[in-house]
Amino acid sequence: MKGALRAGGAIAVVLLLWEVLARAIDMPLLAPPPETVAQSALALAKSGELLRDTLASLQRLVVALVVGVPLGAMIGCALGYWPVLDAMASPFVRMFNAIPAIALVPFSLLWFGVTEFSRFTLLLYTISLTVTISARQGVRSVPGLRLRAGATLGVVGVPAFLRIILPSCIPAIIVGIRTAIGLGVMVVVAAEMLGADSGLGYLIMQARSQFNVPEMAVGVISLGLLSLLLDRLFNGAIESFVPRWSVRRRIR
Amino acid sequence: MDPKPPWKQLRLRHVSKQFPGGPLILQDIDLAFDRGAFVCLLGPSGSGKSTVLDLVAGFERPTAGTISYDEREIAAPGPDRVVVFQDVANALFPWLSVLEHVEFGLDRRLPARERRARALAAIELVGLADHLAKFPSELSGGMKQRVQIARGLVMEPEMLLMDEPFGALDAITRRNLQLELKQLWARTGKTILFVTHDISEALLLGTDIVVLSMGPAARIKDRLTGPEIPPPDPASPGFIAASHRLEASIEGPSMAPALAGTS
């Protein structure tokens, strides 16, 4: 409650600063004051464009998460579990980790055109790679003693993997998913800016081509809010569906 | 119980252990224990006591010699020789409750109701019946060790292997757990192999006390058994004499010829 109050205060201060700055600059077309942006947001909400574009971006993200998280978790667990496989894959994982999805946009456009699939591949790349790395790290940091504790109770091999290693690395995978959601928002917008007919990235680019700065601002702020909302929803889901792995339980 | 078999339950024959590229840790350890013994392995830190326990547990294989258990050679860890670890933070599973911990090792083909009943009985034995739903992060150090003991006992092991289980606990908790462990041992008749560096703990608990020399190449330096173990009264003359003897053999010059000439 206190936290919400403080956050609200901070938002009020930022809005006030924005207002003051916009007045000082006095170029409403390039640097619109908050009330102009608010009006623009209202108009976009009324016409349904804002909802349509937000949902379009959200849908792309969710589809890619549903495919990419299990894929990344499986690859990451395999790499963490089999050192030989890890030694072979690790140069590639490191290299791809240094290549942002945005750098691959030209490839995806060339190979798949301006299609839903080309955006999906970029998102899948980012999400599965992020989750792979965290799951691998999770498996590798399972304390050896925990496996001995299982072995002395007769739990070895596949059951040990399922009942000790996998649950041990769930906190790392959860962190990976959170990171992947954040990165995914960035990638989905970049992909939409370069070729799409819907989504928040498309909305921002459309506004730019019409020199509509308030609409651009609405698009950007909506993105931030969407990202924030997703993070909150994800945390809430962890708390209510797998409470024993929630941050509140402070595992590890 | 069935009549005592004509052999010793646990036998270490000329056991040596050396990790690849490392120093010789144990040299020619020869020991045998009866069923139902409470064996305390005593020694300075670095003497390889925990290595002996790891070998009996089956986590490690001896470099030379054999370890047999009811005349079968020990090759792998198993629930007939359950280990209670000192590092309780890593030995427990943070995502499981007390009850789930104790059910963890039970055969999953058993009916759920029977697993539950056996787990509850073991939890009752260690006095955690009021904390069934708690997670490790909600338990004190002493309670965590109780969980480990219950998790082991429920498997109905022949032996309990305990690696300085009370080493990280405060003095009062430690004393209580020592007393309870002794009662538990008397009630269940399990063989216990208990590693410690605390002389009075060994004298209070053990029916056999084995002293290892300072490593590397630790050997058996002294052994107290049967009538040599005084009654568990720290104020009695016998107890004091025995603890002086153990203290001397832990701190005194090593009798191991391998170390003769070094000081």
Tens of pLDDT along A119-165? 999 999 999 999 999 999 999 999 999 999 999 999 999 999 999 99
At residue B252, the pLDDT reads 63
pLDDT grade for A29, boundaries at 50, 70 and 90 = confident
pTM of the model: 0.83
Does the domain at residues A34-249 carry the CATH identifier 1.10.3720.10? yes
A211: how many CB neighbours lie within 10 A of its CB? Answer: 10
- Whose tokens are 């009866």? That residue is B34
Specify if B30 maps to a domain.
Answer: yes
Residues within 8 A of A (CB atoms), B 89-128 only: 90-96, 104-105
- Tally of domains in chain B: 2
CB contact under 8 A, B95 and A163: no
Question: How much is the pLDDT for B257?
Answer: 47
A48-69 pLDDT, tens per residue? Answer: 999 999 999 999 999 999 999 9
B158 close to B81: Cβ distance less than 8 angstroms: yes
Residue B253: which region, alpha, beta or left (left: phi > 0; alpha: psi -120 to 50)?
A: beta
Is B85 within the bounds of a domain? Answer: no
Decide if B75 is inside a domain.
Answer: yes
The CA distance from A4 to the nearest CA of chain B, in Å, is 28
Strand extents, DSSP E, chain B:
10-18, 24-33, 38-42, 64-69, 72-73, 81-84, 159-163, 191-196, 208-212, 220-225
Domain of B191, CATH number, reads: 3.40.50.300
Q: Per mean pLDDT, which range of A36-45, A83-92, B205-214, B243-252 is the poorest?
A: B243-252
Residue A76's pLDDT is what?
Answer: 96
Least CB–CB distance from A153: residue in B76, B79, B96? B79
Parts of chain B with a pLDDT under 70: 1-7, 252-263
Establish if B63 belongs to a structural domain.
yes
pLDDT digits (tens, 9 = 90+) for A202-245: 999 999 999 999 999 999 999 999 999 999 999 988 888 887 87
pLDDT tens digits for B64-77? 999 998 888 998 99
Asked if residue B4 is part of any domain, the answer here is no
- The torsion defined by the Cα of B105, B106, B107 and B110, in degrees rounded to 10, comes to -160
Tell whether B42 and B115 lie within a shared domain: no
Same domain, B30 and B75: yes
**B243 found inside a domain:** yes
B75 & B124 share domain? no
- Residue extents of the structural domains in chain A: 34-249
Same-domain status, B68 and B196: yes
d(CA B232, CA A243) in angstroms, rounded, equals: 47
Task: Show which of B102, B123, B156 is a domain's final residue.
Answer: B156
Does B148 map to a domain?
yes
- Residue B211, beta-bridge partner list: B42, B222
Q: Do A149 and B91 count as a contact with CB atoms less than 8 A apart?
A: yes
Q: Tokens 């410690």 correspond to what residue?
A: B196
Which residue, among A141, A146, A153, A250, would best test binding to B if mutated, counting the most B CBs under 10 Å from its CB?
A: A153
Asked whether residue B192 is domain-assigned, the answer is yes
- Tell me the nearest-neighbour CA distance from A163 into chain B, angstroms: 9
Q: Given this model, what pLDDT does residue A164 score? A: 96
Q: Of B110, B131, B156, at which residue does a domain stop?
A: B156
Type of residue found at A158: V
Final residue before a domain boundary, out of B156, B171, B187: B156
Q: Tens of pLDDT along A95-111?
A: 999 999 999 988 998 99
Domain range enclosing B133: 92-156
pLDDT averaged over chain A?
92
> B69 and B174 share a domain?
yes
What is the per-residue pLDDT for B253?
Answer: 58
Q: What is the pLDDT of residue B258?
A: 45
Share of chain A above pLDDT 70, in %: 97
